[in-house]
Amino acid sequence: MNLRQFEVFHAIMRTGSVTGAARLLNVTQPSVSTVLKHCETQLRFRLFNRVGGRLQPTPEAQALLPDIEAVFSRLAAVERLAQDLAGGRLGTLSVAAAFPIANGYLAKAVATFLADRPRTRVALQSLTSPQVVDRVASREVELGVVHEPVVNSEVETELLVCASLECVMRCDHPLARQASVPVGALATLPLITYLPQNLFRSYVDKALSHAGIAPPIVAQISVSLTGIMLAQHGCGVALVEPLMLRTMPFPDLVARPLDPPIAFETVLVRPRGTPDSTLLQRFVAHLRGTLVEEGIGIHAAPPLAPSMDRPKLGIGRAGSAPGRNRSGPEARLRGA
């Protein structure tokens, strides 16, 4: 018996007639009769006897029924599995991100994504940016989220969000009353910012140099959270990435943008030439939605093409060119 014959036999057993089986299978009655005839010819025994206008299963048909019902039960399970996979409700995701990202909006996106997907599991790693890029390049994780620049021939990048470093300070600081802080206003203030080897330190030094100021840097830190904590304790004004401030409760602190802004880009990092799973596509769309809800930065639109032809988006910062895809020798990213 082939699968079509199984289907016809099962439908007749369920409905008790050829007419009912044809209606259930959405085919013609003669086609059901033809399949049944061929099936009985191949088996060399009858499956049904006609009794009072209805088909009566033979003992042989009754013996076959449990195994055939088991086949259709497995087919139904496979269909449900396929539907779950297509809907992004089943599977495992592996994601790695730089520390402030993994412990900020990415953690929220993962939590809310899993809330509606009890059969989905996510492995979320918090690493340095070079470690994230290495994990993606070696295909140990499906997706990385880091700050630019990323230069590695084994990965491809796509803009996620464009944001800015900001001044984090106590609520009672004089500058806290301003909507934005001119860079020049930092000239004489005790400043907390990144160590020289940190990715963002070059951005800070360039902005201060353009403003013609050299404020006293009283503390240098490797990650943004440490700078935020120092500002919380009154050490000075922290010139850092402020996103952790949105995630963790710091009621005594505020963040104010700089004028002009010190902009940076955050990108999604994937193994080069590897198509996204449906689950990953759903998660990336959910992550973008989370950023919109949180009002974080400027966001690239979700790609409209299939993942095999995923566009390399490059919008956000003024002057950015579309279609950018950074690759080459491994980037030197530390502590971002």
Tens of pLDDT, residues 290-314: 999 888 876 665 544 343 333 333 3
Tokens representing residue 264 in the block: 């940076």
Does residue 325 contact residue 312 with C-beta atoms inside 8 Å? Answer: yes
Q: Are 131 and 120 within one domain?
A: yes
Which string of DSSP letters, residue by residue, matches 221-270? ESSHHHHHHHHHTTS-EEEE--HHHHHS--TTEEEEEEEEEEEEEEEEEE
Q: Are 77 and 122 within one domain?
A: no
231 found inside a domain = yes
Mean pLDDT over the full length of the chain: 83
Q: Mean pLDDT lowest for which of 3-17, 69-83, 218-232, 284-298?
A: 69-83
Q: How far apart are CA 127 and CA 55, in angstroms?
A: 68
For the segment 87-99, the average pLDDT, to the nearest whole number, is 80
Q: Are 33 and 113 within one domain?
A: no
Q: Mean pLDDT lowest for which of 136-150, 237-251, 254-268?
A: 237-251
Q: Are 153 and 285 within one domain?
A: yes
Residue 184 pLDDT > 90: yes
pLDDT, tens digit, 9 for 90 and up, residues 113-126: 999 888 888 999 99
What is the domain count for the chain?
3
208 found inside a domain = yes
Residue 336 pLDDT > 50: no
For the segment 145-164, the average pLDDT, to the nearest whole number, is 93
Specify the pLDDT at position 238.
Answer: 97
Q: Mean pLDDT lowest for which of 69-73, 197-201, 217-221?
A: 69-73
